[in-house]
C-alpha cells in the first residue's frame, strides 16, 4: 500500500480529492433539515413545490392501490403485485423523504428517533422496490410472450405472487431490521441491496431489450403463419410497452444509485481504481500522462446528476404510476373503466385465447330500462 501511495502523481491526488469533496458536500447538504433562518427564496419555493408534488403523488398512489386490490380488469399476474408494491412503498418513500430531504417541506413530521436514525436505510429500501420487482416482471413477461396462456394458470400466477409480495417484502423488512442486529456486516445490508438490485435491474433491462428484438421477429412469423395462435399483435405490443416502463425509471434511478455507489467505491474499490489508472492514466507506476477519464466531463456530469437527483427521487412514485397507466394495458383498461363509471371495458378481464364471440370485452350494451310508476302513467293520461 505504501508503494502504491508513493507512486501517485499530483494529478491523482487532486482528482481523487475533488470527487471525494463533491460527494461529501452532497452528503452534508442532504442531511440538512428545515429551512433555517438563512433560507433563500428559491429554497422556500422548492419546499412548497416538494409539498404540492408529494400531496398529489400520494393521491395518485392511493388510487393505484385501489386499482390493484379491487380492479376487475386486472389479471392476477406479477406486474399487478409489482405496481401494488411500488404504490405502497412509494407512500412510505414520500413520507420519509418529505421529512428528511434537503428541501423537506415538513422537516419535523417524523419524530420517531429510530426512524430518524435509519432514514438513509429507509430511503434506500423504498428506492429499491421498483428495480427489485422489475427483475421478476421482466422474467414473467418473457415467459408470457412465448406462452401467453400461462397468464390463465393459477399456479403460474401464484409463483410470481409469492416472489413479489411475501418474499420480496419480507426480505426488505429483514434488511431493515438487520441494521439493529449485533452482527458485523461486510457492508450496510440496505445499501448493498440497493446497489445489487439496480445493477440487476439495468442488466435485465438490456436483456429484455434484446428479447424484444427477438420478439419482433417472432411477431412477424406469427402474423405470417396461418395456424391459430394465442400470440396476437396485442401480445407483442404489451411486450414492447413494458420496455419504456422499465427504461425511464432506470435512467431516473441513475443519479441516486451513483451517490450510493460512491460510498461503496470509497470503502472497497478505491485501491483498485487507483491501481487501474482510471484517474492518472497509467496505472500505479505512472508518473504522468493523460487520464483515461476526462475529469472535467466527469465532474460536470456528477454536478448535474447531484442537482437533478432530489427532483428525480421525489418524482419516482409519480412517474412510475403514470407509466403504469400508459404502458400496461390492463391498467389502461381499468383506468378508463373507472373514469367512465363502467361504460368502457365493461366486465371482468377476458382469458387469454378467447375470441370476441366467447367474451366480448368491450361491449357496452343498451342503457338500463327503468319501470314507469303508476302515478307517472296517471299524470301523462
For residue range 4-33, what is the model confidence (pLDDT) as tens digits?
444 444 455 445 545 555 555 555 554 444
Region label for 289, one of left (φ > 0), alpha (ψ between -120 and 50) or beta (otherwise): left
What number of other Cβ atoms are within 10 A of residue 356's Cβ?
10
| The pLDDT of residue 236 | 86
How far, CA to CA in Å, does 299 sit from each of 83, 253, 258, 268? Answer: 35, 19, 13, 21
What pLDDT sits at residue 109?
A: 82
pLDDT at position 116 is 84
The pLDDT of residue 171 = 93
CB 176 within 8 A of CB 89: no
Cβ pair 99, 30 in contact under 8 A: no
pLDDT tier, 286 (very low <50, low <70, confident <90, very high otherwise): very low
32-36, 266-270, 315-319: which has the minimum mean pLDDT? Answer: 32-36
Residue 208 has pLDDT above 60, yes or no: yes
**pLDDT value at residue 206:** 93
| 367-380 mean pLDDT | 56
Q: What is the mean pLDDT of residues 117-138?
A: 89
Q: What average pLDDT does the structure give for the chain?
A: 77
User: pLDDT tens for residues 301-347?
Assistant: 667 667 777 888 888 899 999 999 999 999 998 999 888 887 777 66
Q: How confident is the model over 275-302, as a mean pLDDT?
A: 55
pLDDT for position 66: 94
Of 159-173, 181-195, 342-356, the poorest mean pLDDT is in 342-356
Choice between 322 and 249, residue whose per-residue pLDDT is larger: 322
- What is the 3-state composition of the chain as percent helix, strand, coil, each rounded to the nearest 5? 70, 0, 30
The least confident of 252-256, 309-313, 357-361 is 357-361
Q: Specify the pLDDT at position 234.
A: 81
Kindly indicate the confidence band of residue 187, based on its pLDDT and cuts at 50, 70 and 90: confident
Average pLDDT over residues 177-199: 83
The Cα–Cα gap between 17 and 31 comes to: 21
Confidence of residue 38 (pLDDT cuts 50, 70, 90): very low
Distance between CA atoms of residues 336 and 341, nearest Å: 8
Domains belonging to the chain, first-starting first, are: 2-366 (1.20.1070.10)
In eight-state DSSP terms, residue 220 is: H
Q: Using CA atoms, how far apart are residues 9 and 184, in angstroms rounded to an integer? A: 35
Q: What pLDDT is stored for residue 368 in this prediction?
A: 54
Amino acid at each position: 500500500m505504501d508503494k502504491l501511495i508513493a507512486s501517485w502523481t499530483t494529478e491523482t491526488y487532486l482528482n481523487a480529492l475533488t470527487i471525494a469533496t463533491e460527494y461529501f458536500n452532497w452528503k452534508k447538504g442532504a442531511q440538512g433539515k428545515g429551512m433555517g433562518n438563512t433560507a433563500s427564496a428559491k429554497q422556500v419555493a422548492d419546499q412548497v413545490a416538494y409539498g404540492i408534488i408529494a400531496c398529489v403523488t400520494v393521491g395518485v398512489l392511493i388510487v393505484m392501490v385501489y386499482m390493484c386490490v379491487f380492479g376487475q380488469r386486472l389479471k392476477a399476474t406479477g406486474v399487478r403485485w409489482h405496481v401494488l408494491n411500488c404504490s405502497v412503498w412509494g407512500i412510505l418513500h414520500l413520507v420519509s423523504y418529505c421529512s428528511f430531504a434537503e428541501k423537506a417541506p415538513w422537516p419535523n413530521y417524523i419524530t420517531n428517533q429510530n426512524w430518524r436514525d435509519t432514514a438513509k436505510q429507509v430511503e434506500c429500501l423504498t428506492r429499491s422496490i421498483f428495480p427489485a420487482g422489475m427483475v421478476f416482471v421482466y422474467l414473467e413477461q418473457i415467459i408470457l410472450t412465448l406462452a401467453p396462456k400461462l397468464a390463465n394458470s393459477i399456479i403460474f400466477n401464484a409463483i410470481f405472487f409469492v416472489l413479489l409480495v411475501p418474499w420480496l417484502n419480507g426480505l426488505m423488512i429483514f434488511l431493515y431490521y438487520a441494521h439493529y442486529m449485533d452482527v458485523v456486516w461486510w457492508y450496510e445490508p440496505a445499501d448493498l441491496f440497493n446497489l445489487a438490485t439496480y445493477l440487476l435491474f439495468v442488466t435485465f433491462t438490456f436483456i429484455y431489450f434484446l428479447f424484444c428484438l427477438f420478439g419482433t421477429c417472432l411477431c412477424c412469423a406469427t402474423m405470417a403463419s396461418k395456424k391459430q395462435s394465442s400470440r396476437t399483435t396485442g401480445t407483442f405490443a404489451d411486450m414492447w410497452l413494458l420496455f419504456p416502463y422499465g427504461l425511464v425509471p432506470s435512467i431516473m434511478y441513475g443519479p441516486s444509485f451513483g451517490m450510493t455507489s460512491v460510498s461503496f467505491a470509497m470503502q472497497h474499490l478505491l485501491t483498485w481504481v487507483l491501481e487501474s489508472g482510471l484517474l492518472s492514466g497509467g496505472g500505479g507506476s505512472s508518473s504522468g500522462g493523460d487520464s483515461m477519464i476526462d475529469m472535467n466531463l466527469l465532474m460536470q456530469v456528477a454536478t448535474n446528476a447531484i442537482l437533478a437527483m432530489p427532483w428525480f427521487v421525489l418524482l419516482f412514485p409519480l412517474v412510475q404510476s403514470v407509466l403504469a397507466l400508459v404502458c400496461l394495458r390492463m391498467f389502461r383498461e381499468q383506468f378508463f373503466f373507472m373514469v367512465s363509471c363502467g361504460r368502457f371495458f365493461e366486465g371482468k378481464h377476458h382469458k387469454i385465447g378467447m375470441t370476441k364471440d366467447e367474451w366480448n370485452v368491450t361491449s357496452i350494451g343498451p342503457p338500463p330500462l327503468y319501470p314507469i310508476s303508476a302515478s307517472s302513467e296517471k299524470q301523462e293520461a
